[in-house]
Amino acid sequence: MNKNNIEALISYRCQRSDEAIQEAELLFNRASTYYTLFEKRHSGDYDDFIYFDHEIMQELIALTKEFTSTIKELVL
C-alpha cells in the first residue's frame, strides 16, 4: 500500500466509526432501553436483544467517542 491508500483507509475507518456511534445513539434514543444487535454483530456470543440502562448507555457512548477521538489524534 502506498501512502495515499493508507491515508484513504484511515479516513474511511474514522468515518465508519463516527457513523457507528451515530447509529448507536439513534437506536438508543428511538428505543430507549432496547435495540437489536442481531445484524450488527458477527459473533454468536451475544443475545439478539440486549438491555442497557440509560445511564450505562450514555457512559458507553461517551467513552466510545473519547476513545475514537484519541485514536484519530494518534493516527492523523
Q: List, as own/partner pairs, every contact residues 10-13 make where C-beta atoms lie below 8 angstroms and the sequence separation is at least 24, other chains included.
A: 10/75, 10/76
In angstroms, the CA 21 to CA 19 distance is 5
Residue closest to 35 by CA, chosen among 52, 18, 16: 52
Q: Can you give the pLDDT at residue 2?
A: 92
Domain that holds residue 62: 3-75
User: Looking at residues 50-73, what average pLDDT do you find?
Assistant: 82
In angstroms, the CA 38 to CA 20 distance is 15
pLDDT interval class at 5 (50, 70, 90): very high
- 38-53 pLDDT, tens per residue? 444 544 455 556 566 7
Domain count, the chain: 1
Q: Can you give the pLDDT at residue 54?
A: 76
Per the CB < 8 A criterion, the answer to whether 69 and 7 are in contact is: no
